[in-house]
Each structure stands twice: as structure tokens, then as C-alpha cells.
A and B are shown apart, each in its own frame.
Chain A
């Protein structure tokens, strides 16, 4: 047992810190620090700066731009990025469709998509959830019927995050209507400019347009866009959802946001006094810091012990507790903003500080965190069933 990072890892941490705090355009880091939404252009520029340095998709196979890093190094990469206020590479590209194509796609599909996917020249959307297939994803109903060298796709996907920017969408579609639930599903790549494909915005409680419905009305998709084998899509989806151990919990960004909240609180009391002198606020922050430390250390235990390729049993803890703390910090922000938290619509001429104006929209927006990617109840089910052996 040993506390310190090895010399090599400590140097790696310095290198990453240096890169993320100096090589990502400042306007992007400022937008993140202001807790405002990044534009499509900002996300693309941020990713391309990383890709130019060869560190946008370290989790991919080396021949497609990946890095031969240890899980700990990937963890450090991810943490330093978030601490610096840099958005991680778009998950749909970097952690979802990219690894699936690299693992299961034909050489032709790899060559066609992977370089552009790494560089965000193609913006991918995720077409998994449907109105009647949320946590129970395998009950999805969108169909793809083969007709010659095309599939005819009909149905509806929903909760498509940032689908308004999407160039392509990777979908799970039912190719064998007679097979039982998980069988008969295929992994199909669809050009979002195809005739019959419509994207419709869903307005959210924070006023944002972040997710969409995507409708497929006799959309024709070349059979060449099938990834891997027909009817094996469920296996690929499981691979996609289960192969990530690094960055499961957003530790770095929550640390940064909490640190920022503390700094803001320092002058947010009446007449510019410090709210850190309020025992209840101070205790809340101190407890969050301690909980976040426990989470970070758990993430470190998981990456340090995942060399054998199997998920560490504690990794479900990361998703669950990671979102609990992420949400708790957004809640703290609203408490610190106090009455100023109402001024979400304030513009020029308002005396309310910008960070107080964004507190509540972030709080409302991040209620999503304990729902997406396997809700926290699904995580508890996994912990109870897989780790504790409690199967109802």
C-alpha cells in the first residue's frame, strides 16, 4: 500500500494539468465556469483541440487514435480535464459509438467513421430510449425491415440529447419481430438527413432545449450501415453501457463546482460578508467535501484494481453516489444564491451576479443525472443483485 502517485503518474498529472489549463480556448473554460451551456461550436473546438494533441479518445484501440494508458492515467486525464473546466469529449462519439464500431464494426465501417468520430466531424446522437422503453430498454419497438440492400426503419426514439446538432444517429432497432425481447435487436447507423427522419425538441423544466424526439417514417438505411451482425445489437449495447470504469462518477467537475460555490459564498452574505461563517452552510460544504473525497478515493480504488479487465464491484457505487453528490452541489448553489436564485431571466442592468442567475437552472437541469445512464434505482438493483446476491 502506498499513498503517492508514482513519479511517472505524477509527471503525467502535471502534463495533463498544463495542457487543459493552457491549450483549451479560454472562452470555452469561461462558459463552463459561468455554469452556462456550451454552444455546438465550442464543443467542437474543445474536442478538436484535444484530438489535435492526440488525447480525445484514449479509451479507443491505439490504431484508431487511442492511448496505451493505464486505467489510472485515464482517470487522471479525466479528472484534470474536469478540474480545468473542460468538457469531456462528447460521450456519444468517444465513449459510445466509437468503441462499439472499433470492437464490432467491419474494416470498412471503421475507416468510414472512426477518424471523423474522434474529431467530431460527425456529431453522433444516441437512439436507444423510446416512449415505452426507458429503464426497460429491451422492450424497444422501432423496427427495421430488410428490403433488398436497405432497411426500412419505422418508429420513434426519445430523450435524444443534443439531437438538434446530430449528423448521424446510432440506433437499436428490432430486426427480428419474432425473437424474444433481447434477441432480434440490431445496431444500425442512420444519417439524420435521411428523408422521413424528423427531430422534434422537448422543452425541459429548466427552460432548455437539450433533448429531442426522433421520428422514423419509412426511413431507408443502407444495409452497409449495420454494425457487426444482425440481431446481435443487444450484446453491443451491453458492451457500450458496461465497458466504462473511468469517469463513471463526475468527481472532477463536482469538485470544481463545489470549490467555486465556496468561493462565491465567501462574499455572498449580507453586505458582502462571508456565508462560510454561517455554521449550517459551512457544515454543509464541509460534509460535501468529505463525501466527495470518499467518492474520489473509491473511484481511485476502482481504476487501480481494474487491470484484470473486469469491473470492480464498487463501480456501481460510483454512478449512484456520483450523481447524488453532483445534484447535492447544484442544490447547495441555489441555497447560497438565496433570493437571487430567482433571477434566472435577468439580463443587462441586473445587479444579481451571473452565478446566482444560473444556480436554479443548473439545479433543475441536473435532476436528470440520477435518471440517465441507468437510474439510481437501477444501480441499487445491480448492487443488491450482483454484489450482495439479493435476487427477488
Chain B
């Protein structure tokens, strides 16, 4: 059991922190970048690619760098620290993870290499309006062999407007299939809009849209989707940790420097105690999320699903707590678009509601109480 980064991992963290700190050194830059489509900066994406960050989770034979969940978690956490709008978890961990897990050798060779190089940015079209966090899609697939069409609506699809390739979950006989849809496919309409956290989502409609099966045709991919989603949930946990750590640092700094009644705000115990509670929330969340990454590294699929749900629940609680208090302890300035901290709260809120919020996971966990006497975190 070891919860610490080795020297190579520390070097990776420092490098990514350096790169992203330069790109988003001031929150003003982020505001500028997110104003115009696609809501992120292609140059920053290219630099992440040059550094190798986009290929970390993928096997070398597929065109990746053969690193693992720990390295991915490091990048995600640094993304969170500056709330960089680049779609790291969405495109690399989730969409890329699906291609790596379900794709044929040929598909992997075509897509993973380009994703790693930063020239192809995929998106996973999974969520449907009116379908909440359900795993069973209503978008329907029909066809056989390599010749399929999709019909129905996915929304909100994160990064769906800009995506160079859509991976779509759709109902097939006996389960859920995964399909690749090209951006210029007939019968495909994508309408992109801004989300409250500065990101982009899209209404994506399929009307007898031609699609290629990802992997073998007609195979139920429910379990594959669940594993990729779990890896993304855990990576989102790290993105949140980065964001929460920064929100707490900023709040602490503000309490030290801001004066009212002629004294710094940290004179008031009502404020410092609340900052202390934020620290408690952060450290508890850090423990669970880091553990979940180690469970992912360990690779037991059942354990991964449970650990991801536990991490997402802890992150939901901590993210709400820290996000809300960060604004409150700042006072009015925290409400302004010009100041950073409110954007962190927005991002934490967005992450909370992607891939199942805290209550969703709590409800699921509360149905599994009979499975165990108590939780034993170390196998």
C-alpha cells in the first residue's frame, strides 16, 4: 500500500502544472478562451499532446504511451487546478477509453494515434434528455454487419458540437451497442451551446444516420461502457480535487488579506472554522478518490465500479461544500464573473451532475448494504 507519487510521476505533475499554469495563469485568459467556440484552446491541446498527456492511458501498440490511471489522475488534477476548459476527461479518458476497450485493432490504430497526437477529438454521446442517468439508451440502432443507422436524440453531449468523431450508445437487440458516427454523416444535426461552467454541449439528433459499430457488430457493450464510465468518474474526481484545492487556497489567502473593521477576516473564528471544515472535506475526498485510482490500477472490474461510485459520492459532497463556502467566505466578490472562485464552484457543480450525482450513487450504494459486513479498502 502506497499513496505517494514516484519521481517520474512527480515530474509529470510539475510539467503539466507548468504548462497549464502558463496557459491559464490568470482567470481572465480562461474567460476569453471560453467565450468563443469550441470553448477551449487548440494550442493548449497541442501542447498537451506534445507533452504526451493525451496518450497516457493507451497501449503503445495502439499509438499511446502505455501509462496508467495514476498518470491520468495527475493530469486531471492539474486540469482542475486551473479549471482548464480542454476536454481531457471527456475526450481522452471517456471517449478514448471506450475506443481502447471496445474498438477493433484497426479502429484503435486509426483513432488512438490521432487522439494522442491531438488531431482528432472524439466525444461520447450517451446522455439523453428525459433519460437522466439511465444506462439504457433510447437512441435506436438498426442494421447488420458494418452497415447500421441510428435514430433518436442525445443531449447534452459534452463537446458534441466540435467533436471530430462521435461515439454513440444505442439500443440493439439484447443490450446496448456502441457506434462511430462521422461529423459529416447524413441525417446528423448538431446544435452546440454554452454550459454554465464555460463548456460546450450539444443537441445531437440522428435521423437514419449511418454509423459503424465500434468493435464487433451486434455485441452488448454495457459492461465496457460501465468500465469506461467508472474510469471517467474517477478522473473527474481528480479534476474536482484540483479545483477544490485551488478554491480553498484562494479562500484562505483572501481571509488573510481582506480587511474589514480594520482587521483581517481571519480574525473572525466564524470564518476560520468554516475554512477548517473545507480542509476536512478536501482531505477526506482526496483519500477516497486516490484510493479509487489505486483500485482502478489494481484492475478488479467489480471493485472498480464500486470504488468509482464511492468516489463520485464523496466528491459530490465535498464539491458542494467547498464550492458554496468558497463563495460565501469571499462575500460579494465571490459572486462576480471577474473573480476566479465562482467559476470553480460552477465547474464543481457541472462535474457533480455528469455521470451520476452524489444522490444517484448513494441510492445505488444503499441497495448493496447486504453485500458486505463492512468495507475493507485494502485487498
Contact = CB atoms under 8 A, between A and B. Distances in A.
A4 B279 contact: no
A290 interface: yes
A289 B374 contact: yes
Interface residues of B, number: 52
Interface stretch (B139-147, B166-174, B358-366): B358-366
B192 interface: no
Interface in B1-28: 1-6, 9
Contacts, number: 160
A53 interface: no
B252 A301 contact: no
Given A1-B5, A300-B1, A282 B369 contact: yes
Contact of B273 (A255, A258, A384): A384
A163 B256 CA distance: 45
Interface in B149-203: none
B3 A305 contact: yes
A48 to B, nearest CB: 29
Interface string A262-283: 1100100000000010010011
A1 B4 contact: yes
Contacts of A300: 1, 3, 287, 377-378
Contact of B266 (A3, A4, A291, A391): A391
A322 to B, nearest CB: 11
B366 A392 contact: no
Interface in B327-379: 362-363, 365-370, 373-375, 377-379
Interface stretch (B57-65, B104-112, B227-235, B294-302): B294-302
Interface residues of A, number: 54
B366 to A, nearest CB: 4
B310 interface: yes
A388 B278 CA distance: 11
A4 B379 contact: yes
Contacts of A380: 272-273, 276-277
B288 interface: yes
A65 to B, nearest CB: 27
B283 A255 contact: no
B310 A283 contact: no
A317 B365 contact: no
A321 B284 contact: yes
Interface in A298-314: 298, 300-301, 304-305, 314
B275 interface: yes
A392 B269 contact: yes
A259 interface: yes
Given A279-B366, A377-B273, A289 B375 contact: yes
Nearest to A286: B366
A367 interface: no
Contacts of B367: 282
Interface string B249-269: 000100110000000001111
B208 interface: no
Interface in B291-324: 291, 293-295, 297-298, 310, 313-314
Contacts of A263: 373
A384 B275 contact: yes
B276 A389 contact: no
Contacts of A5: 1, 378
Nearest to A301: B3
B70 interface: yes
A11 interface: no
The 4 A-B pairs with the shortest beta carbon distances in the complex, nearest first, are A297-B287, A286-B366, A3-B294, A282-B366
Interface of B: 1-6, 9, 70, 248, 252, 255-256, 266-269, 272-273, 275-277, 279-280, 283-285, 287-288, 290-291, 293-295, 297-298, 310, 313-314, 362-363, 365-370, 373-375, 377-379
Interface of A: 1-6, 9, 72, 83, 255-256, 258-259, 262-263, 266, 276, 279, 282-283, 285-287, 289-298, 300-301, 304-305, 314, 317, 320-321, 377, 379-381, 383-385, 387-392
22 contacts: A1-B4, A1-B6, A3-B297, A4-B298, A9-B1, A262-B373, A276-B369, A286-B365, A287-B313, A289-B374, A289-B375, A290-B362, A291-B284, A296-B375, A298-B284, A300-B1, A300-B377, A320-B280, A377-B273, A381-B273, A384-B266, A392-B269
Given A2-B294, A3-B294, 15 more contacts: A1-B3, A263-B373, A266-B370, A283-B363, A285-B369, A287-B366, A293-B310, A296-B375, A296-B377, A300-B378, A301-B3, A321-B280, A388-B248, A388-B272, A392-B267
